[in-house]
């Protein structure tokens, strides 16, 4: 490698070499939604008439899972499976079960594997959740976003606050004991009182996990167009920071562990699947547009559902983007995602993984970030300060390096 960095087995990425039972998480992308929310730029599709496209997509996902199991040539053990989207609960429970069963038939799934589905309150009910429990799902992530109906309407969400409450009750009634709620702040016209009210309603329901997201204006979304045309007012930076800090204070006071920039959990209920991403670990993605990261390679498959289905039917190559990451880039990405974990990032472990002294390699960046009061570095563990937390993306971007910069 030009940078002098290489990945070691400790980092799970020894190129081309089979390791006994390689832990690899699985992500399944369900790209269907009833309506396109005003802020969303995910790979999602809405249609007036679906025909049999959802069923054919599920069949195609299953055939891709089987194909990966035979072509990857690694003994994979699956610690976590995550269904995201789009809207996984857009599908019937038996379709979700078909995919889970295909994963079980194709790979070794840990007995205690975390199996999560994102759930939209508009397409969730006790009967569906009950069947999902039977089929092995043990965690739900419910997209509440707000308990304020007028804000929900402004986002183009299809559910009401009442339906969000009903979804959580339904989850509890069939025995889900690990439930996460997603909430959004910095919404158009949202006041501090609105935000705290939604948050207080959420915590009164005692979810095991809460994710908080500040609205961002993504290119191509309805909100971005409105904003560009001066027709969308958003809370200013100061209010946005106050909303975030207010939430941190409240959730900490109630005993939630703030373990990642946007995520809070009761101790022991941190998302195992998302930890894999923040540890820059390996995962296989299935479904239209899904990304995989495995054995030093990152690839993305066909994103349009109809083309995905047609390609799967004739066994064509699904991959539309494919790159082998140079180790200096993999290291930079490990820092960029790892720094988001509030318990700190152990540079010694990264040094072992990439066979380089990371503290020396990044000596200038680490020094500058400390001088700016954005991180602390003690005994080889780097952590965001409170100030760093408010600008976490800027801190992360400090670790991007040009390949030509020499190694130590």
Least distance (Å) between residue 322 CB and ligand SF4: 25
Residue 62 binds ligand SF4, judged by CB under 6 A: no
* Residues in binding contact with ligand SF4, number by CB under 6 A: 11
- DSSP per-residue string spanning 251-305: HHHTT-EEEETTEEESTT-S-HHHHHHHTT--EEEESTT-EEEETTEEEEE--SH
- Our measurement of the distance from residue 333's CA atom to the centroid of its chain's CA atoms, rounded to an integer in Å, reads 15
Residue 261 binds ligand SF4, judged by CB under 6 A: no
Residue 33 binds ligand SF4, judged by CB under 6 A: yes
Minimum CB distance to ligand SF4 smaller for 34 or for 135:
34
Nearest by Cα to 16 from 324, 333, 300: 324
Least distance (Å) between residue 343 CB and ligand SF4: 29
Residue 277 binds ligand SF4, judged by CB under 6 A: no
Q: Which residues contact 347 (CB under 8 A, 6 or more apart)?
A: 358, 359, 377, 380, 381, 382
Residue 36 binds ligand SF4, judged by CB under 6 A: yes
Minimum CB distance to ligand SF4 smaller for 223 or for 362:
223
DSSP assignment, residue 54?
Answer: H
Minimum CB distance to ligand SF4 smaller for 50 or for 380:
50
Q: Side by side, which strands form the sheet with 381-384?
A: 345-346, 381-384, 375-378
Residue 44 binds ligand SF4, judged by CB under 6 A: yes
Tokens representing 395? 């801190």
Least distance (Å) between residue 217 CB and ligand SF4: 14
Nearest by Cα to 161 from 186, 142, 140, 188: 142
Q: Where are the beta strands (DSSP E) in 103-178?
A: 108-119, 139-145
Residue 45 binds ligand SF4, judged by CB under 6 A: no
Residue 146 binds ligand SF4, judged by CB under 6 A: no
The window from 34-42, 198-206, 252-260, 262-270 that contacts ligand SF4 (CB under 6 A) reads 34-42
Residue 215 binds ligand SF4, judged by CB under 6 A: no
Residue 184 binds ligand SF4, judged by CB under 6 A: no
Helix and strand counts by DSSP (H, E) for the chain = 16, 16
DSSP assignment, residue 341?
Answer: B
What pairs with residue 286 in β-bridges?
28
Least distance (Å) between residue 47 CB and ligand SF4: 13
The window from 37-45, 181-189, 198-206, 260-268 that contacts ligand SF4 (CB under 6 A) reads 37-45
Nearest by Cα to 117 from 98, 136, 145: 136
Minimum CB distance to ligand SF4 smaller for 157 or for 258:
157
When binding is defined by CB under 6 A, the residue of 5, 40, 171, 251 that contacts ligand SF4 is: 40
Residue 42 binds ligand SF4, judged by CB under 6 A: yes
Residues that bind ligand SF4 (CB under 6 A): 33, 36-37, 40, 42, 44, 85-87, 120, 143
């Amino acid at each position: 490698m030009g940078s002098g960095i290489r990945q070691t087995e400790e980092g799970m990425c020894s190129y081309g070499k089979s390791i006994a039972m390689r832990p690899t998480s699985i992500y399944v992308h369900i790209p269907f939604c009833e309506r396109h929310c005003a802020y969303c730029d995910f790979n999602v599709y809405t249609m007036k008439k679906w025909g049999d496209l959802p069923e054919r997509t599920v069949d195609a996902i299953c055939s891709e899972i089987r194909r990966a199991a035979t072509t990857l040539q690694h003994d994979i053990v699956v610690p976590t499976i995550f269904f995201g989207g789009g809207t996984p609960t857009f599908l019937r429970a038996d379709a979700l079960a078909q995919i889970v069963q295909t994963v079980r038939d194709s790979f070794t799934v840990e007995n205690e594997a975390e199996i999560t589905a994102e759930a939209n309150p508009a397409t969730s009910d006790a009967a569906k959740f009950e069947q999902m429990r039977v089929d092995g799902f043990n965690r739900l992530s419910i997209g509440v976003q707000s308990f304020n109906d007028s804000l929900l309407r402004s986002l183009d969400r299809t559910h009401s606050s009442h339906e969000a409450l009903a979804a959580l009750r339904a989850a509890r009634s069939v025995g889900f004991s690990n439930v996460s709620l997603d909430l959004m702040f910095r919404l158009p016209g949202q006041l501090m009182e609105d935000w705290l009210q939604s948050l207080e309603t959420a915590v009164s329901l005692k979810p095991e996990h809460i994710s908080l997201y500040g609205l961002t204006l993504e290119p191509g979304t309805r909100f971005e167009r409105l904003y560009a045309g001066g027709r969308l007012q958003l809370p200013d930076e100061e209010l946005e920071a106050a909303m975030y800090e207010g939430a941190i204070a409240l959730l900490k006071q109630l005993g939630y562990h703030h373990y990642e920039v946007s995520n809070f959990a009761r101790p022991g209920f941190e998302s195992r699947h998302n930890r894999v991403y923040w540890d820059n670990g390996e995962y296989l993605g299935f479904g239209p547009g899904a990304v995989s990261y495995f054995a030093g390679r990152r690839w993305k498959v066909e994103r349009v559902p109809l083309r995905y289905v047609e390609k799967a039917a004739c066994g064509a190559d699904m991959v539309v983007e494919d790159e082998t990451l140079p180790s200096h880039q993999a290291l930079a990405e490990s820092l960029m995602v790892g720094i988001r974990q509030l318990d700190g990032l152990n540079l010694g472990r990264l040094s072992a993984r990439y066979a380089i002294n990371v503290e020396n390699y990044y000596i200038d960046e680490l020094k500058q970030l400390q001088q700016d009061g954005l991180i602390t570095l003690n005994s080889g563990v780097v952590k965001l300060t409170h100030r760093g937390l408010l600008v976490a993306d800027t801190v992360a971007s400090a670790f991007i390096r040009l390949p030509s910069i020499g190694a130590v």
